[in-house]
Amino acid sequence: MQLGIHLPHIGRKAGPESIRRAAIQAEQLGFDDVWVSEHIIVPQSSPYPPSPNFWDPVVTLTWAAAVTSRVRLGTSVLVLPLRHPLPLAKELATLQNLSQGRLILGAGVGWLEAEFDALGVPFQQRGRRMDEGIAMMRAVWSDDPVTFEARWIPARIDTMRSQPLPVVPIPIWIGGGSDAALRRALRQDGWHGSRVPPDKAAALVRRLRAERPEPGFTISLRVSCNAANVGGMRDTLAAYRDAGVQHVMAAPEDRGLEDYLATAEAFRRAGDRL
């Protein structure tokens, strides 16, 4: 089983030095990848997310890439319908090349309607815009010149060019637990679920493997942990492994950086004892 760790780019512990230290620690401890999340703007009264201090995910991963050489770089997840696919495709291709092919694009449709309203994106169209956005980015990443007929996203692309192309293809893992998200994941390179307990994971794995049995289709889960519960994480990881989950990413909830670093190390040790 592969293990990832979420970088401290959210809340009061976010900052250049904390992200740098965490990324370097992750590589030294043998984590397979480091991860970031996304919210662009949130209502003041919103109970979740608990902090509005979200450092930009793509820029954060670029910072992490500059101080590492091996760990992969993942998004958990980018809210694709909030972004226009053309500049995002350029940013992601650039990061893929700067990092020498280490990027994983975790993508989701989003759920916070007020965030869509603030950005002028129709909330009810988010699924269609996501599907079209993925298709547009894949076209831009593979065709030079590229022609793409868009329906839901404002774009006119007729025999145009966008470089650089990614040095290697960028895998796309779809986040979310709805039927629509699972169907969307089956059309891409992997599924990146969240808040799925081990006793529920096996059924989801069977459902996905019935259509995508090949090992190259990755089944990944995000789990929360902190200093209080990381000690019992070994049994949780073993249960996920037995259910057929290939990859688990831990998102430490500790508010202070030193506690975060200790939790990350304990989580890595739990994985080593499997």
9 catalytic, yes or no? Answer: no
Catalytic residue among 113, 149, 211, 258: 113
Given a contact cutoff of 8 angstroms between Cβ atoms, the answer to whether 56 and 19 are in contact is no
Exposure of 199 by Cβ count < 10 A (0-12 exposed, 13-18 middle, 19+ buried)?
A: exposed
The active-site residue out of 6, 9, 38, 39 is 39
Residue 107's alpha-carbon distances to 32, 154, 214, 244, 255, in angstroms, are 19, 20, 21, 22, 26
Residue 123 has what DSSP assignment?
A: G
Total H helices, total E strands in the chain = 9, 11
Distance of CA 208 to CAs 84, 188, 202, Å? 29, 12, 10
Q: What is the C-alpha to C-alpha distance for residues 274 and 262, in angstroms, rounded to an integer? A: 19
Q: Annotated catalytic sites, by residue?
A: 39, 113
